[in-house]
Structures are given as C-alpha cells and as structure tokens.
C-alpha cells in the first residue's frame, strides 16, 4: 500500500546502485498515514532531542502532539495543513503549518526530516514548499518557533532566510516549558 512505510534504521536507507533515483514528493497526509507520521516523529525526536530536553519532556510532547488523534485534529482544522515528504513509498519527513489569524501570516508549526537524509537539500525543499503555500494563501510572513538550543535547526532556518524575532518561554503543562526563539521570514 502506498505511503505506509517509515524509515527507522539508517542502514536500510541507503539506496543501492541498482535502485533507480526517485524524486521526492510532497503531498497532504491522509488519515491512514498518521500512524506512520507518528512513528517517524518518535524516531526523529529520540535521535535528536535527548541532548536538548529531558526524556520525560520528549515523551510528554510526543504524546501531546504526535499521537494519531492529535494529528487527526490538525488534519480536520480549517486553514491547517499536514504534508509528508515521500521518496517512493517511504515517508522521510513532514511539515505542519497554518494561517495564524494575524494579517498575512503563516506559522510553520512542525518541520522534521529523518536524520539520515539531512544535508541533501530535502529540509530546504520542505521549507520552499511551505513558503510557496504561504504565498498562495496571501501571506507575506512565515514564522516558526525553535528551541534555543537546537543549533542544527537554527542554522538551517537561517540558511533559508529566517531571522530571530524574539525569545519566548511557553508553559506547555506538566511542569515543562518550551524555551524558544521565534523566527520569521519575509516572503
């Protein structure tokens, strides 16, 4: 079935010389793919965030934001989009974004790419896609929040035209906070 595999083991990811090169595709996620997206998010977070936030906060945020029911709510909300980046039948990454209610502003809420595929331009491809979608919806500003200690993501966002606009600390419940930079990009 198309679009039901995720990648979790980097040793299985490298395309063999006999495998024809596939073009990545970005498209809207389907309800049936939300468990796949949740599994991919769990893998990415477990690889990336232990050096930045506690395991307890990782577990809390995964349950709060990446449980299939939470993802379904995002799919069902008008002016919210959840798109996957696919290579063949394998989901490599995803982006979630929405119109904020502020004039001409869109927020990139989530953008993740399997770590094995970093440095290949796929994260920038997702950002370019979301930027184009923002313009299609009449937005002239794209914003996002990123953990202040997530230097890898901050560098990637800066390479793609984002600048730090402010610093925030947001209580997300259960004794946890998000200590973030708000970054923005004029479109």
pLDDT of residue 49: 97
pLDDT of residue 58: 98
pLDDT of residue 11: 27
pLDDT in tens, 164-173: 999 999 999 9
Within 8 A by CB and 6+ apart from 39, the residues are 6, 8
pLDDT of residue 6: 41
E strands, 100-140, are 105-113
Domain ranges of the chain: 24-186
Rounded to whole angstroms, how far apart are CA atoms 58 and 45?
7
| Residues recorded for the chain | 187
Res. 1: pLDDT tops 80: no
pLDDT of residue 4: 41
pLDDT in tens, 90-128: 999 999 999 998 999 999 999 999 999 999 999 999 999
pLDDT in tens, 11-63: 233 333 334 467 899 999 999 999 999 999 999 999 999 999 999 999 999 99
CATH architecture of structural domain 24-186 = 3-Layer(aba) Sandwich (3.40)
Radius of gyration of the CA atoms of the chain, in A: 16
Rounded to whole angstroms, how far apart are CA atoms 150 and 87?
26
pLDDT of residue 50: 96
Residue 2 banded pLDDT, cuts 50, 70, 90: very low
Q: For the ranges 8-12, 35-39, 144-148, which has the lowest average pLDDT?
A: 8-12
């Amino acid at each position: 079935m198309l679009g039901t595999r995720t990648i979790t083991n980097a040793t299985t990811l490298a395309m063999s010389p006999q495998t024809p090169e596939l073009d990545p595709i970005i498209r809207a996620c389907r309800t049936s793919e939300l468990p796949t997206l949740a599994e991919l998010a769990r893998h990415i977070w477990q690889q990336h965030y232990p050096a930045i936030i506690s395991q307890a906060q990782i577990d809390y945020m995964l349950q709060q934001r990446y449980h299939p029911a939470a993802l379904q709510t995002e799919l069902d909300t008008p002016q919210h989009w959840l798109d996957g980046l696919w290579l063949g039948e394998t989901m490599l990454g995803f982006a979630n974004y929405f119109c904020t209610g502020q004039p001409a502003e869109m927020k990139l809420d989530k953008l993740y790419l399997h770590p094995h595929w970093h440095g290949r331009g796929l994260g920038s491809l997702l950002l370019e896609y979301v930027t184009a979608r923002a313009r299609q919806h009449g937005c002239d500003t794209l914003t996002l929040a990123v953990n202040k200690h997530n230097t890898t993501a901050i560098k990637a966002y800066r390479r793609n035209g984002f600048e730090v606009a402010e610093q925030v600390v947001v209580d997300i419940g259960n004794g946890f906070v998000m200590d973030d930079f708000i970054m923005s990009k004029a479109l």
